[in-house]
Amino acid sequence: MRAFRMREWLTDPVLTEVATPEPGPGQVLVRVGGAGVCHSDLHIIREFRPGQLPWSLPFTLGHETAGWVESVGDGVTGLEPGTPVAVYGPWGCGTCNQCLRGVETYCERPHEAPVRQGGAGLGLDGGMADYLLVPHARHVVPLPEGLDPVTAAPLTDAGLTPYHAVRRSWPKLTPTALAVIIGIGGLGHLAVQIVKATTAARVLAVDTRPEALETARRFGADLTAPPGDGVAELVREETEGRGADVVIDCVGSDRTLTLAASVGRVLGDLTIVGLGGGRLPVSFNSLPYEMSVQTTYWGSRSELVEVLSLARRGLLHTEVTRFPLDDVAEAYRRLEEGTLTGRAVVTP
């Protein structure tokens, strides 16, 4: 089978031929229908030197995957061949408190876990291939009827990550609240929809690109604006001077974090989702009183089920640009250039 693999650090991955895996006891082999192209992959490709991550090379990229069950190993029940499924990407030990809660992103024994890695496409073989071997059936979530694997694939991260961020701030997203979403890309265009689908709050979308702001308006944003001093002024006008109740930064650069802090309100939330490498100085007077600043990483398995349900009901729509597996390098090139709108999905 074909697979897009990291073979050396700080070098471009290569599309190559590898043996098709066979599922062992408790495992599931998924025929890949779609694999999302994510900015975090670019960080893995461009930034890490040997020894900086606890991962062994080579491995196949791709942590957003959906497809169909091809075959299962001994002991797996309820997953018949041909069943459309999404893959929950973070793989932990399966037995610690966090894993038992379905939050394997925060596995408390990652170095003792049977996989001893980060998950699909994160140190272990991921979905940028014709097939993906999933090490345990608990990571495979059947798709709701009518939901296509190509559409579902990016929901496993680009949908799940902002959903987790929005969900934890639900108590503050009241009908009188304003949420500011910074960065209307693969995650941000879904974050706008998640706030609109699950709360009565208004949404201000912020992005440098006119086409991204148009996408945000199409998906329900009440207000849009390019970044700059005018954003803070607009937020004050729209909230009678209080500021935004919730700010979700899907970029995470110095500039966007400064903007995020400037528009938040007392007792508000600022959640950093993007991996832009920015820093936010924190001191007693640098933020509004009791404004919570938090990072977040992916989401839980039960939250993925909720995201897929929203998509099945037509409340979440993924803006997708498709690429065949033979053109996977071009998908990453366009992502790096910033010329994609929404999410690129590789379709073997």
**pLDDT of 115 above 70:** no
Which pLDDT score is estimated for 340? 83
Confidence of residue 341 (pLDDT cuts 50, 70, 90): confident
* Domain final residue, candidates 295, 312, 337: 295
Question: Are residues 171 and 144 part of one domain?
Answer: no
Q: Is the pLDDT of residue 294 over 70?
A: yes
Q: Give the pair of three-digit tokens for residue 197.
A: 């689908």
**Residues 98, 124: one domain?**
yes
Indicate if 132 and 196 belong to the same structural domain.
Answer: no
Same structural domain, 201 and 280: yes
Residue 256 has pLDDT above 90, yes or no: yes
Residue-level pLDDT at 114: 64
Residue 111's pLDDT is 74
pLDDT at residue 118, rounded to an integer:
81
Q: Which residues of 170-183 are buried (b: 16+ CB within 10 A; e: fewer)?
A: eebbeeebbbbbbb
Same domain, 55 and 11: yes
In terms of domains, do 76 and 204 share one? no
Query: 290 and 182, same structural domain?
Result: yes
* pLDDT for res 113: 67
Inter-CA distances, 109 with 136, 297, 338, Å = 17, 17, 36
Residues 164 and 150 in one domain: no
- Residue in the block written with tokens 């190993």: 73
pLDDT at 315 over 90: yes
The answer to whether residue 167 scores a pLDDT higher than 90 is: yes
What is the pLDDT at residue 238?
A: 97
Confidence of residue 116 (pLDDT cuts 50, 70, 90): low
Q: What is the DSSP string of 91-134?
A: ---SSSHHHHTT-GGG-S-TTTSSS-S-EETBEE--SSBSEEEE
β-bridge mates for residue 31, sequence order: 68, 131
In this predicted model, what pLDDT tens digit does every residue of 42-85 receive, in sequence order? Answer: 999 999 999 888 888 999 999 999 999 999 999 999 999 999 99
> Is the confidence at residue 117, as pLDDT, over 70?
no
Per-residue pLDDT tens for 136-156?
999 999 999 999 999 999 999
Q: What is the CATH number of the domain that holds 222?
A: 3.40.50.720
* Final residue before a domain boundary, out of 295, 313, 337: 295
Burial tier of 310 (Cβ tally within 10 Å: 0-12, 13-18, 19+): buried
Domain of residue 102: give its range: 2-157+299-347
Is there a single domain that holds both residue 172 and residue 193?
A: yes
- Asked if 148 and 6 sit in the same domain, the reply is yes
pLDDT for res 175: 98
Which ranges in the chain belong to alpha helices (H)?
39-47, 97-100, 149-152, 160-167, 188-198, 210-218, 229-238, 254-263, 301-312, 328-337
Domain tally, the chain: 2
Q: What Cα–Cα distance (Å) separates residue 289 from each residue in 177, 229, 238, 272?
A: 17, 21, 20, 18
Residue 291 and residue 309 share a domain: no
Same domain, 152 and 268: no
pLDDT-based confidence at residue 230 (cuts at 50, 70, 90): very high
Report, in this order, helix, strand and coil percent for the chain, each rounded to 5: 30, 25, 45
Last residue of a domain, one of 270, 295, 320: 295
